Amino acid sequence: MNDKPNSGRGQRELRVRVKTAKGRKLSSTLWLERQLNDPYVQKARREGYRGRAAYKILELDDKYGFLKPGARVVDLGCAPGGWCQVAVVRVNALGQNPKKPVGRVLGVDLQEVEPIAGAEIHQLDFLSDDADEKVKSWLGGRADVVMSDMAAASSGHKATDHLRIVALVEAALAFAFDVLEDGGTFVAKVLAGGAENEMQAMLKRNFRKVANVKPPASRSDSSEKFVVAMGYRGREIEGGAGLQDEAE
């Protein structure tokens, strides 16, 4: 699963073209055409993933190795479920490798998500006051990994969209501070833009290693990137007082 989709070198590439149907916007037609011709979309269908985003977390984990067998993982905004599918295999949630420890995968989302073998899915607003306690009770403890591929609904205004996703990531990070085990990892999608300086400072203060990366599966014309923060040490800072200082 680590191989990149074949670029078609040495083969004739067949491109699907979509005609604009009556009543359908040109932008919708272009989006559909891009989907039909996207090698990651095609590969996801062949390999049974629920979306091309699965390859983003696969590539990030190949590089940083945070989805270890036996790990307890929380996937925020997990719909449609591609990241959970990857995590189930990587942490051995189904116990298919008897020589390795069995992990846990817990997905939460505002909407109902189709069941995923090996994952525990809950319909939950992670911003609710008691969400962190619910997650810890479901896991039977703290999480080793909190990950998020969430994005705020697009307004069509680049600067506004950037601020919205930064706010969403900051909320996910605050949640991670509450549920992560010492040494844990936080992975989240952000948009390049420059308004995330405070968030980056907070990450560097509370994790031993922080990387910002754009995996190959992320479209070249997209401004998205991913932050991978490893080695959570928040509770080492006087019981978490440093977190409050940074957040205020």
Binding-site positions for S-adenosyl-L-methionine read 81, 83, 109, 125, 149
Structure tokens at 225: 């990137």
- Distance from C-alpha of 219 to C-alpha of 197, rounded to nearest angstrom: 24
Q: Is 99 in the active site?
A: no
What is the full DSSP assignment across the chain?
A: --SPPP--TTSPPP-------TT--HHHHHHHHHHHH-HHHHHHHHHT-SSTTHHHHHHHHHHH----TT-EEEEET-TT-HHHHHHHHHTTTT--STTS---EEEEEESS-----TT-EEEE--TTSTTHHHHHHHHHTS-EEEEEE---PPP-S-HHHHHHHHHHHHHHHHHHHHHHEEEEEEEEEEEESSSTTHHHHHHHHHHEEEEEEE--TTS-TT--EEEEEEEEE-GGGTGGGHHHHHHH-
Backbone CA torsion sign across 235, 238, 240, 246: negative
- Distance from C-alpha of 139 to C-alpha of 48, rounded to nearest angstrom: 27
Which candidate in 68, 189, 204, 214 is catalytic?
189
Tokens 């062949």, located at residue: 46
Catalytic residues: 189
